[in-house]
């Protein structure tokens, strides 16, 4: 069996919420598309959410990636964010929607916001599949959030522990065996 952990958010719940987010995001951008929309996934954790989210959009978009790392091995954030891969698309004059897997302390989002300052974007918005508000160390505003969760370390639906468990279809609570 692929998943041995307790389910926090089921595939059905995810599907329903992603459809809602897709509708909301589409209606917010539909009248702004004189400039193109670029959806930028933060690798690697966002890849499953990003794939579902862009297919639920009713507006067209381009897709780009950025890669950062903040966690070393294990389940707690180091707080130091490193840029590992820059977007290759030209982003000036485009609407950018950043898509993250989860916001925990907020350091990664703060780093990303700083990265995009001065890039002459048409607009900048943020979307996170999961949000753990109780863990926040940096004040930040998420424009679109899938689910708020309590302070659990979760894996699945793209989220990993040391590279494992990304392929689980639901969000599950990691427990040491
Ligand atoms: P932050 O910089 O907000 O503390 O952390 C953001 C990153 O930490 C996320 O993109 C994710 O990679 C990782 N992270 C934070 N909480 C969790 C969690 O519960 N599970 C997993 N798998 N990764 C997490
Ligand atoms: Mg991540």
Give the pLDDT confidence score for residue 133 in this predicted structure: 93
Q: 12-16, 106-110, 167-171: lowest mean pLDDT where? A: 106-110
Give the pLDDT confidence score for residue 141 in this predicted structure: 84
Q: 25-39, 65-79, 151-165: lowest mean pLDDT where? A: 65-79
Q: What is the mean pLDDT of residues 132-139?
A: 91
| pLDDT interval class at 69 (50, 70, 90) | confident
Q: What does the alpha-carbon distance between residue 37 and residue 29 come to, in Å, rounded to a whole number?
A: 8
Q: Is the N-terminal amide bond of 44 cis, ω within 30° of 0?
A: yes
Q: What does the alpha-carbon distance between residue 39 and residue 26 come to, in Å, rounded to a whole number?
A: 12
Give the pLDDT confidence score for residue 140 in this predicted structure: 84
Q: What does the alpha-carbon distance between residue 72 and residue 52 come to, in Å, rounded to a whole number?
A: 27
Q: Give the ranges where the chain is alpha helix by DSSP (H).
A: 11-29, 47-56, 107-116
Q: Which of 40, 43, 75, 104 to mutate to test the pocket of ligand 1 (most atoms within 8 A of CB)?
A: 104
Asked if residue 71 has pLDDT above 70, the reply is no
Give the pLDDT confidence score for residue 70 in this predicted structure: 75
Q: 34-43, 121-130, 131-140, 147-156: lowest mean pLDDT where? A: 131-140
Q: Counting every residue, how long is the chain?
A: 177
Residue 38: CB partners within 8 Å, gap ≥ 6? 61, 62, 63, 64, 89, 91, 94, 95, 96, 97
pLDDT digits (tens, 9 = 90+) for 159-168: 999 999 999 9
Closest C-alpha residue for ligand 1 atom 12: 45
Token pair for residue 175?
A: 């427990």
- Out of 73-77, 156-160, 173-177, the most confident range is 156-160
Token pair for residue 84?
A: 């590992």
Locate the ligand 1 atom nearest the alpha carbon of residue 42 and give its number: 10
- pTM assigned to the model: 0.94
Establish whether residue 130 lines the binding site of ligand 1, counting it when its CB lies within 6 angstroms of any ligand atom.
Answer: no
How is residue 58 annotated by DSSP? S
Give the pLDDT confidence score for residue 150 in this predicted structure: 97
């Amino acid at each position: 069996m692929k998943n041995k952990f307790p389910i926090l958010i089921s595939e059905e719940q995810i599907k329903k919420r992603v459809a809602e987010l897709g509708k909301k995001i589409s209606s917010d951008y539909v009248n702004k598309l004189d400039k193109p929309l670029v959806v930028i996934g933060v690798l690697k954790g966002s890849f499953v959410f990003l794939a579902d989210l862009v297919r639920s959009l009713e507006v067209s978009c381009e897709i780009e990636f950025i890669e950062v790392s903040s966690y070393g091995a294990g389940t707690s954030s180091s707080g130091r964010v490193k840029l590992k891969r820059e977007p290759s698309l030209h982003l000036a004059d485009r609407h950018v929607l950043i898509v993250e897997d989860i916001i925990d302390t907020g350091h990664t989002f703060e780093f990303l916001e700083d990265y995009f300052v001065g890039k002459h974007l048409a607009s900048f918005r943020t979307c996170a599949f999961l949000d753990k508000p109780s863990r926040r160390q940096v004040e930040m505003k998420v424009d679109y959030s899938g689910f708020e969760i309590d302070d659990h370390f979760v894996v699945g639906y793209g989220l990993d522990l040391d590279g494992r468990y990304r392929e689980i279809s639901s969000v599950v609570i990691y427990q040491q065996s």
